Amino acid sequence: MKKSCKNFVLAATSAAILAGVAGSAQAANWLFLQGTERPGAAPRAKVWGFIQPEYQSTVDTKLKAGPWKGQKAVFNQSRPQLKTSSSFNVLRARIGVRGVAMPLDSNVNYFFLAEFGNNGITAGGGGAVKLTDASVTFNHMKGARIRIGQFKTPGSEEGLQAIHVFDYINFSNATNGLLLERFFNSDGSTQVGANKPNGSVSAFRDIGIQMFETFKVNNWEHSYAIMVGNGNGINRNDNNDNKELYAYWSSELVYGGKGPRRQGMKLFAWYQDGQRTLAAGPSQTVQNFDRMRSGLGFTYRKGKHRAAAEYINADGMIFTGTDGAALPGAVSNNGALTASWNMATKGKADGWYVHYGFAPTPKWEIDFRYDVYNRLTNSTLGERKFDTATLGLQYFFNKKTRVTINYEFRNADAPGYAGSSPVNQILDSLDDRVSFNVLAIF
């Protein structure tokens, strides 16, 4: 906890310095958009939601080397079942209610959202419908609003932003690998079973309590959030006594507009720290392991131009995919091994992305993103580098309905090995990916 406090102070100081030096800001205030309602002008219950069918495809290149050579590669399969390389899917289908329970009292508002789609939230077992958000916000203390329940944690822009305004179909590699947390009972170091996730992915959410506020100074909005959560995913209670600590700061120069597509420029920094409990090592001893994430970045939106960049740093537990990049549960060609999901319990990683979008007309938007993820930078032989260039096209039928097409040029390599090594041959099996989805908000 001492370490957590020290790190928190460092992060908060860094954020404060950054905010003081930078002088820019964001395109949308997610803390307020998701956690509050318009005072005196909010309904008792507003029903809303969105539907997001998609199609994803790769050419399904088989593993080129290793114990599972010739078998399906996990990274070429469609989420979340990983059984085919091309599939239609209703990725997200959410419906929710939000508002002020008593319209006369704007000091208390609520947010409720459930997921009916087929994704990492619902595919983890326990039912086809899962709660994603259920929170109550108390606005009595200006300067220290309180939100309690299950909701998005104050952190990375890619995770914190409303998913229905996300410009791409898949997350960047670093966000997917480091922030979209999977929870396991074991680190997967023993070859017993597939070591499948023990529940939903985090969906960038946690259960806990958050203090937050936005301070307006002329055209600037300065926001902070501090949160304490379980750090054990959604729809279940904690599995250890260590709580997750989150800190967030943003400063935004607002150009105009309102809502999630408000025009502005934002600088932000965030930090989270906690521990995870799982069985690790040859003896599979249950232990606690540190998990720290931090990041900083900016977003920009004005007129026809949109841009964003973010750097993400990780220390502690790192999700490392499956053995030999085979499907989880797949038996090796010699019958001796079973591929499982793995976690490095003490690792380091970092990554970043840059994004630029141009909307020549209100109907069309062209997007480009380049992202890099360096996994296990503390290990010469364990390090993997993923980089992806994504070309995107969006067509807006109206403000609530759009179609998105993405083509991802994907590449991965192991810098600690020769290019011709089996490890790099396996990584060479990674295909480009084409995908499209439709989004309808109601």
Partner 1 sequence: MKQIISRIMAVMLAVGLFAGMTQQAAAEKAFAEKKIVLQISDPNPFKQTLVLNVANNLIKYYGMDRVEIEIVAFGPGLRLLFEENANASRIQGLVDSGVRLSACKNTIRNMGKKLGHPPALNKNAVKVSAGIVRIIELIDKGYVLVKP
Closest separation in Å from C-beta 353 to partner 1: 34
Closest separation in Å from C-beta 288 to partner 1: 45
- Token code pair at residue 83: 């059984």
Q: 8-41 burial by CB neighbour count: b if 16+ within 10 A, else e? A: beebbebbeebbeebebbbbbbbbbebbbbeeee
| Nearest alpha carbon to residue 175 among 19, 26, 297, 356 | 297
Closest separation in Å from C-beta 272 to partner 1: 31
Sequence letter at residue 277: T
Sequence letter at residue 168: Y
Q: Which is nearer to partner 1, 32 or 116 (CB)?
A: 32
Hey, is 226 helix, strand or coil? strand
Q: Which is nearer to partner 1, 104 or 336 (CB)?
A: 104
Closest separation in Å from C-beta 37 to partner 1: 9
DSSP label of 118: S
Q: Which is nearer to partner 1, 40 or 360 (CB)?
A: 40
Closest separation in Å from C-beta 41 to partner 1: 4
CA distance linking residue 266 with residue 292, whole number of Å = 24
Closest separation in Å from C-beta 259 to partner 1: 12
Positions in the binding site for partner 1 (CB under 8 A):
38-44, 102-106
Closest separation in Å from C-beta 42 to partner 1: 6
Q: Which is nearer to partner 1, 257 or 382 (CB)?
A: 257
Burial of 181 (0-12, 13-18, 19+ CB in 10 A): buried
Q: Which is nearer to partner 1, 83 or 399 (CB)?
A: 399
Sequence letter at residue 5: C
Q: Which is nearer to partner 1, 100 or 430 (CB)?
A: 100
Q: Which is nearer to partner 1, 110 or 270 (CB)?
A: 110
Could you list the beta-strand ranges (E) of 303-383: 305-322, 341-361, 364-375
| Nearest alpha carbon to residue 382 among 341, 348, 411, 351 | 348
Contact 309, 353 (CB under 8 A): yes
- Token code pair at residue 155: 């952190």
Closest separation in Å from C-beta 182 to partner 1: 39
| Nearest alpha carbon to residue 139 among 226, 41, 219, 36 | 36
Task: Please provide residue 192's backbone torsions phi and psi, each rounded to the nearest 5 degrees.
Answer: -125, 105
Q: Which is nearer to partner 1, 41 or 336 (CB)?
A: 41
